[in-house]
Structure 1
């Protein structure tokens, strides 16, 4: 078990690392893009429209292809998502979010590898994607391509 002093030192260093991330340029860009996104009424409307369409999509999912409106809803979901994703503020926010995630993944990798080569940590934006394997290793286990 880790001694009390060692534990406190680890927590102190972790806190300092967290502060460094919070004060980083990447985090600042993320915050600015989030504020810009939240203050843009058109982007807010597009996001709400997509969420509403997604909710409607989830309602028909229990019937799948047998639902009479399945093809129409699928088309509308894709169109609404594309329209939302193409908005400048949404695209800018997604880019900033991806950059922040990459920074956090890089830090996780560094910490994990400094402990052991066998420690698994998220990488390549695994927290933002679904690798499909379910093991939580971000594909490092080799079960996802």
Structure 2
């Protein structure tokens, strides 16, 4: 790839945008909640317990319901996940993560549609997909706008 002045300018603008996202209220809240979750020993214990159960679950899934421990491991994995998901620092982290993802989805939509309104922008967010703002995948042929 040849580096032209235009390419270098686009790369610089992308880097500035990334820094603005990181320094935004949403970005800083995400980083702070990630740090707090990583420093929370109870949260880390719950995450490690869930990851260990997940490994057992994947082993059991190879044989499906015919595995002798299928019900036991499946239930224990769901319980470990629920206990992990209900821990306060993990809740705050997941909320911050969703907020950051929403911001990134919105930026992706703006960037994609600034090039062409027919660009498909995969956001993974049902709000964008149902509004046919680019997530419908039909390039505008479905009649939505």
**Is 1:98–1:125's contact at 8 Å kept on the other side of the alignment?**
no
Identify if the C-alpha distance between structure 1 residues 3 and 31 changes in structure 2 by more than 3 Å, giving closer, same or farther. Answer: closer
**SS class of match (1:84):** helix
Q: Is residue 130 of structure 2 the alignment partner of residue 141 of structure 1?
A: no
What do residues 6-62 of structure 1 show as CA deviations (whole Å, max 9, x unaligned)? 222211211111111111111100011011101111000000000000000001111
Q: CA deviation at 1:105?
A: 0.8
Superposition TM-score, scaled by structure 1 size? 0.83
Unaligned regions of 5+ residues in structure 2, if any? 127-133, 139-145
Unaligned regions of 5+ residues in structure 1, if any? 127-137
Alignment match, 1:96: 96
Q: CA deviation at 1:111?
A: 0.2
The list of structure 1 runs, each at least 4 consecutive aligned residues, that deviate by more than 4 angstroms after superposition, is none
User: How many residue pairs get matched?
Assistant: 130
Superposition TM-score, scaled by structure 2 size? 0.83
Distance in 1, matches of 2:77 and 2:136, equals: 32
CA RMSD of aligned residues (A): 2.0
What do residues 41-98 of structure 1 show as CA deviations (whole Å, max 9, x unaligned)? 1000000000000000001111001001101111111111000000000111000011
Distance in 1, matches of 2:135 and 2:5, equals: 35
